[in-house]
Amino acid sequence: MSSNSISAKEFCMHYQVEYHFFYSLYESGLVSVSGDDAALVMDEEEIPKVEKIIRLHEELGINLEGIEAILPLIEKIELMQAELKHLRNHLNLLDEEKF
């Protein structure tokens, strides 16, 4: 499914972030972008993730290294929550059987 993209420059303008901040996201591999260094372009699908990074950075004062460590942990938590939910659904049934 193809979607729209947004240039790094435009993104920085709308979100009031410095270009070098965006560039460091790209360098650290936190966001995937295309195009060349002079005109980076990002898929709109990436926006929610970058918004989250900006929130973590601005609202909580977490630096990029910290964010790099946190994001995979959050993903892991979400996976584990899904698994836990699945197991709980199963457990309900077993509890019923025991009575």
Binding site residues, other proteins, CB under 8 A: 3-4, 6, 11, 14-16, 44, 47-48, 51-52, 55-56, 59-62, 70, 74, 77-78, 81-82, 85-86, 88-90, 92-93, 96
| Beta carbon of residue 32, minimum distance to other proteins (angstroms, whole number) | 17
Burial class (CB in 10 A: 0-12, 13-18, 19+), 42: buried
Nearer to other proteins, 10 or 27 (CB): 10
Q: How many CB atoms lie within 10 A of CB 22?
A: 22
Nearer to other proteins, 23 or 49 (CB): 49
Question: Half-sphere exposure (CA, 13 Å, Cβ side) for 79?
Answer: 6
